[in-house]
Amino acid sequence: MGHHDHIFDQSEEHTLRFPERLVIAASPERLVDLRAQASAALLAGVDQVPLHDSPDLDDQRLASASLVVLEVEPSNPTSLNRLTKLREKRPDLPVIAALSSPTLSVVQAIVRHGVADVVALPFVVTELVQACVNAAVNQGRAVSAPTTLAPLIAVVRATGGSGATTIATHLAGELAANSLHGCCLIDLDIQNGTVADYLAIRPRRTIADLLEAEDRVDRELLLSAVTTHQSGLKVIAAPEDIIPLETINPDQLLRILELARREYDWVVLDLPSNWTSWNLSTVLAASKVLMVVEMNIPSLRQAKRRLQLFASVGVRPDAVEVVVNRMEKRLFKTISLSDVEASLGCAVLSSIHAEGDAVSAAQDQGLLTGQVARRSRFNSDIVKLATDLKTSFGGHG
């Protein structure tokens, strides 16, 4: 390819500067075109990575990167998988997607993957530099060391009364029990939240105080809204007063969740039954989505509808797994676990056996079942669920 004319004069080039530790990962042809436009001096600190057929980017390069520009082909599963894996490995890392046809619908689909910005292909150097600088400034990552966000586990329910809050509280308690920085359980069922009641805690502040703080929310305010259960579990409770669902600002909520993920080893969300833009945003941001179902037709039907909703907004299918609650010891069962998987097209991560007396006795005392009936089948299932989650995140926490 011949040398291109520069799209800016020499005096303008001296004012341009890419952020430090920038990685540009694109097809060899795009990188050749970029080098033809920009001087060697401008690109001196830029790590240029030619993309081939591999869905992965080199981990050593990612470990030191402050920003990545990644060429993405929305119609290519390998290309989309590369973006997904990058976001999983470094959820804190700003990513700019480079698209050859950035139509509105394509941009909207790519933004759901958590990218910081989108630029058009072929590269235009001035636009690329500006997008990189903006992303670095907005994320505050231009000169800071990379940090790791804790896994975010969203517990959702197929239907009301499925026991999702019981699963969320006990799972969070088990994750907290053996982790260095603990687990924070956030009750986002803002109209009907019962986590505080189940654990017999009386919080001074709730999630409502953090949502109302807007730009004033910071680590100190977050910690002031945390109540510690006697088991060691950290809880941010739902508001005492009913808040209209439509008043929640999704961006504000995501800022709160990021602060929590920086503070603790695990963050677990108990989400409401009703679906709006803000709780769909939390599901999109989640590392793992646990759909709590029961083994009956109404529960499975509603679970199927919710899974279809998740798919329509861009939730990755491999991020969603099913937890079957209230399994019963019956010789003849009309529905099996394999039937559940076939019906939902989704793997069953865990089954939790019904042991209502032990659970109710614990909750009446504001305790977790493991505190009063460690050897119960229910508690053993919760321990296994927590262990499986830790394994899926490489032994995290």
Write the pLDDT tens digit of every residue in 140-185.
533 343 357 899 999 999 998 899 999 999 999 999 997 889 999 9
Do residues 197 and 121 share a domain? Answer: no
Residue 84: burial class (beta carbons within 10 Å; 0-12, 13-18, 19+): middle
Write the pLDDT tens digit of every residue in 45-99.
899 999 876 667 777 777 788 899 999 998 888 888 888 888 878 888 899 999 9
CATH of the domain at 237: 3.40.50.300
Residue 379 falls inside a structural domain:
yes
pTM > 0.95: yes or no = no
Joined tokens for residue 331: 């010789």
Do residues 72 and 203 share a domain? Answer: no
Write the pLDDT tens digit of every residue in 317-327.
889 999 999 88
Cβ-contact 1, 18 below 8 angstroms = no
- Work out the angle at residue 199's Cα, subtended by the Cα atoms of residues 197 and 202, and round it to the nearest 5 degrees: 65
Q: Please state, in angstroms and rounded to a whole number, the distance separating the CA atoms of residues 284 and 279.
A: 9
Do residues 330 and 192 share a domain? Answer: yes
Residue 397 falls inside a structural domain:
no
Q: Please state, in angstroms and rounded to a whole number, the distance separating the CA atoms of residues 55 and 68.
A: 15
At residue 53, the pLDDT reads 65
Do residues 122 and 158 share a domain? Answer: no
Do residues 211 and 341 share a domain? Answer: yes
Write the pLDDT tens digit of every residue in 219-272.
999 999 999 999 999 999 999 998 888 889 988 999 999 999 999 999 999 999
Q: Which domain holds residue 256?
A: 152-392
CATH of the domain at 112: 3.40.50.2300
Q: How many domains are contained in the chain?
A: 2
Backbone torsions φ then ψ of 148, nearest 5 degrees: -115, 130
Domain boundary among 139, 167, 201: 139
Q: Which residues pair with 187 in a beta bridge?
A: 270
Give helix 297-312 / helix 277-285 axis angle, nearest 10°: 80
